Structure 1
Amino acid sequence: MNAPPRTASLGSLSLESGAVLRQLQVAYECYGTLDPDRSNAVLVCHALTGDQYVASTHPLTGKSGWWARMVGPGRPIDTDRYFVICSNVLGSCLGTTGPASEGEGGTPWGMRFPVITLADMVRAQAKLIDHLGIERLHAVVGGSMGGMQVLSWAALYPDRVASAVAIATAARHSAQNIAFHEVGRQAILADPNWNGGDYYGGEAPTAGLSVARMAAHITYLSEAGLTEKFGRRLQDRQAKSFGFDADFQVESYLRYQGLSFTSRFDANSYLYITRAMDYFDLAEAHDGQLAEAFRGTATRFCILSFDTDWLYPTAEARRVVHALNAARAPVSFAELSSPFGHDAFLLESTEMDRIVGGFLREGA
């Protein structure tokens, strides 16, 4: 499943802020074979801290692709049937242009990088799809922030998307989600090593980024899942320390998640991507009428949510479904049961596999 690293130089990109990136680079991975008529391409969109290595070994961590259970031969996103593309989003740090990239003057952009939006990310992806010579995608698939990109693709390029699968996502970022992101950003900004974003070549703000990841990771889980996995069990000790070491297993788990994250992700990228998510509201450009974002679309939609996901609860998925119904778009919807909260879309789910695989085959 390993594909050689690929980066495309795609010229300039105009951003929603009015800024222009003169030299856009997009890193991506491909799996499977493109049909002669180029009709079997599936774009997989990753979440906030994801990357292009959807089904291949990550070069920094050595771990399997983040959705390898979904993408591959005979799997729901079947690479014997589809040509699967996954690109690193604009603003990230795994090869696509972002704050860690070399900017004007030959030094990293840092905080001089312009603020970006989810629509900017999707337009960068569209330039990649053009570069690959693909006019219309068989499907766009993604969960969480990836699902937001799916919905944006359908709204911005309705003639280029035959099918859209949006999982564990929403058409806007809620006040609660913005609040959690702000806690994470402030943790990074308060780290003495952040240095106004100009830390490249020196000590990175790993403490702040680690805390940001810990806070975010809590939102990806459910209370039932945390209780089942950790409860109030102590970590490697028989009694409380009466100090501030990681007494509880859940504390040790969060510290590990935070620390390991800093070895593969850039703090400035975290700032920029979370801000892009906070700005996301598909209805905003349509006087608050979400249905108008999809008016006249011929795209088929599959919307999935999980009953324990409190980050993007089923109510948000139903809002999207109701808007699609109002726009008279063909849409299938299911709420799936899982104890794993928001992260359920990344984990084993026979029901999700069946629905996604069947939906993609029906559209072929």
Structure 2
Amino acid sequence: MTIAATAVPLSGSSDGALKYQSVGAFELEAGGFLPDVVLAYETWGRLNADASNAVLVEHALTGSTHVARGDSDEEGWWEHLVGPGATIDTDRYFVVSVNIVGGCYGSTGPSSSAPDGKPWGSRFPLVTLRDSTVAEARLADALGIRSWHTVVGGSMGGARALEWAVTFPDRVKRCAVISVGAYSTAEQIAFAQAQTLAIRQDPDFNGGDYYGQAAPEAGLALARRIAHITYRSAHEFDFRFGRNPQGAETPLDAARLDRRGRYQVESYLDHQGSKLVKRFDANSYIAITEALMSHDVTRGRGALEEALSVATAEFFIAAVNSDRLYFPEQSRELANALPGDVPVHVIEAPIGHDGFLTEIGQLGPQLRDAFFG
């Protein structure tokens, strides 16, 4: 169902409450068209008189706009970074987080109504990260924000932040890119393809037109399992689970394969898949994964150094030392290609890629000194 395209006034609105804004029709980079795009977003704090304190926080692949608790009861996913007195202090800064186009947390996506009143489903067009940046720029216009004090994100959110700094260099004063490189590599695209194929091959997928009937839950859960393996490190899996069986289940005591028990790590992945199925749409998972596959800041802009040369923002680059999805080498490549001397800050975390979420507090002092002092 398409959500009514109404803007919520900034004054008196609740921190951490979902708001909606129509940003109009879109001719998309890949040739598609959306007649009316609605963006869902949340805000915290208050915009100052000259709109110089606005900070954009970009969510990761299956993340939501709910960065911090605010006035709601629900804990946010970057509480250690955003909030009253935090590194990004909402008593000083006006923080905005936007659900990406194609998502399922309120922005226009495959489950939204097309002009004929039916869900877009299989007809939903390819939306790139560059497209999503243009949509967010229109939202910024509607909010009266000419330029961002800072744009920050991790993983896909970091890719979105980088695209902002290059697509609209005059609108980004500071840019924090965490746990992602300048483009999606062949290996990252390969992992992504396995995930989208898991969904597309689910018997209930119906070519993407499954709304009103059984959803492709098994395929979506399998996609999440594949993704989660890349989000955590081998050390994390060995330390937490080893080769231990799940409870009383016996993986090596079964006369038939279909009756064998599970290892603990299998049970863990099953749990991760089941959790996502309860909160996410399969078509949106495909749409956003395809957007991340499109990530390439050099596309149509020349070599990496040339593409980045237009950026005028101050940059903060960070990586997780144990990340095996977006290797720290990619962050170093990005930093080396940026104008000036840009260091790479390191999150020390054995957990793997998800360290950008669980251990973001490690970057608090550096981010505060660099951008929010």
If the TM-score is normalised by the length of the shorter chain, which range does it land in? over 0.9
Q: Which amino acid aligns with 1:15?
A: L
Check whether the contact 1:58–1:65 (CA below 8 A) recurs between aligned residues.
no
Aligned partner (choices 204, 209, 213) of residue 198 of structure 1? 209
Superposition pairs of residues 168-183 of structure 1, within 5 angstroms: 168-183=179-194
Judged with a 3 Å threshold, the aligned counterparts in structure 2 of structure 1 residues 272 and 58 are, in CA distance, closer, same or farther, namely: farther
Aligned partner (choices 262, 268, 282) of residue 267 of structure 1? 282
Aligned partner (choices 196, 211, 235) of residue 224 of structure 1? 235
**SS state at 1:263 partner:** helix
Check whether the contact 1:294–1:329 (CA below 8 A) recurs between aligned residues.
no
Judged with a 3 Å threshold, the aligned counterparts in structure 2 of structure 1 residues 193 and 171 are, in CA distance, closer, same or farther, namely: same
Q: Give the Cα separation in 2 of the matches to 1:190 and 1:238.
A: 29
The residue that corresponds to 2:47 in the other structure is 34
What per-residue deviation string (whole Å, max 9, x for no partner) do you get for residues 190-231 of structure 1?
Answer: 111111111111110000000000000010000111111111
For residue 252 of structure 1, report the CA deviation from its aligned partner.
Answer: 0.7
The residue that corresponds to 2:246 in the other structure is 235
Identity %: 43
Instruction: Between 178-187 and 206-215, report the one with greater CA deviation.
Output: 178-187
Q: Which amino acid aligns with 2:95?
A: V
Aligned partner (choices 246, 256, 268) of residue 253 of structure 1? 268
Q: Do structure 1's residue 312 and structure 2's residue 323 form an aligned pair?
A: no
Instruction: Between 267-276 and 85-94, report the one with greater CA deviation.
Output: 267-276
CA RMSD in angstroms, aligned pairs only: 1.9
For residue 19 of structure 1, report the CA deviation from its aligned partner.
Answer: 2.4
Superposition pairs of residues 53-64 of structure 1, within 5 angstroms: 53-56=66-69, 64=75
What per-residue deviation string (whole Å, max 9, x for no partner) do you get for residues 91-140 of structure 1?
Answer: 10111011111002001000101111010111111111111010010000
Check whether the contact 2:56–2:151 (CA below 8 A) recurs between aligned residues.
yes
What per-residue deviation string (whole Å, max 9, x for no partner) do you get for residues 64-108 of structure 1?
Answer: 222122211111221111100001001101110111110020010
Judged with a 3 Å threshold, the aligned counterparts in structure 2 of structure 1 residues 43 and 349 are, in CA distance, closer, same or farther, namely: closer
The residue that corresponds to 1:281 in the other structure is 296
The residue that corresponds to 1:6 in the other structure is 19
The residue that corresponds to 1:132 in the other structure is 143
Instruction: Between 195-204 and 1-10, report the one with greater CA deviation.
Output: 1-10
Q: Give the Cα separation in 1 of the matches to 2:277 and 2:206.
A: 17
**SS state at 2:56 partner:** strand
Q: Give the Cα separation in 2 of the matches to 1:251 and 1:274.
A: 24
Check whether the contact 1:45–1:147 (CA below 8 A) recurs between aligned residues.
yes
The residue that corresponds to 1:299 in the other structure is 313
Instruction: Between 215-224 and 330-339, report the one with greater CA deviation.
Output: 330-339
Please list every run of at least 4 consecutive aligned residues from structure 1 whose deviation after the TM superposition is greater than 3 angstroms. 56-59, 238-241, 243-246
Judged with a 3 Å threshold, the aligned counterparts in structure 2 of structure 1 residues 117 and 296 are, in CA distance, closer, same or farther, namely: closer
Judged with a 3 Å threshold, the aligned counterparts in structure 2 of structure 1 residues 267 and 246 are, in CA distance, closer, same or farther, namely: farther
Instruction: Between 209-218 and 237-246, report the one with greater CA deviation.
Output: 237-246
Q: Do structure 1's residue 97 and structure 2's residue 97 form an aligned pair?
A: no
What per-residue deviation string (whole Å, max 9, x for no partner) do you get for residues 143-187 of structure 1?
Answer: 000000011001001110010000001111111111111111111
Check whether the contact 1:191–1:208 (CA below 8 A) recurs between aligned residues.
yes
For residue 349 of structure 1, report the CA deviation from its aligned partner.
Answer: 4.5
Aligned partner (choices 87, 91, 100) of residue 80 of structure 1? 91
Q: Which runs of 5+ in 1 are unaligned?
A: none
Q: Give the Cα separation in 2 of the matches to 1:151 and 1:310.
A: 20
For residue 57 of structure 1, report the CA deviation from its aligned partner.
Answer: 8.5
Instruction: Between 254-263 and 228-237, report the one with greater CA deviation.
Output: 228-237
Aligned partner (choices 131, 144, 157) of residue 146 of structure 1? 157
Q: Give the Cα separation in 2 of the matches to 1:103 and 1:296.
A: 37
Q: Give the Cα separation in 2 of the matches to 1:32 and 1:228.
A: 40
For residue 2 of structure 1, report the CA deviation from its aligned partner.
Answer: 5.1
**SS state at 1:255 partner:** helix
Check whether the contact 1:7–1:25 (CA below 8 A) recurs between aligned residues.
yes
For residue 16 of structure 1, report the CA deviation from its aligned partner.
Answer: 0.3
Q: Give the Cα separation in 2 of the matches to 1:246 and 1:35.
A: 58
**SS state at 2:116 partner:** helix
Q: Give the Cα separation in 2 of the matches to 1:26 and 1:147.
A: 19
The residue that corresponds to 2:220 in the other structure is 209
**SS state at 1:7 partner:** strand
For residue 331 of structure 1, report the CA deviation from its aligned partner.
Answer: 2.8
The residue that corresponds to 1:340 in the other structure is 351
What per-residue deviation string (whole Å, max 9, x for no partner) do you get for residues 262-286 of structure 1?
Answer: 1111111111111111121112312
Q: Give the Cα separation in 1 of the matches to 2:239 and 2:15.
A: 35
Q: Give the Cα separation in 1 of the matches to 2:268 and 2:71.
A: 21
Q: Which amino acid aligns with 1:34?
A: L
Q: Which amino acid aligns with 2:89?
A: D
The residue that corresponds to 1:323 in the other structure is 337
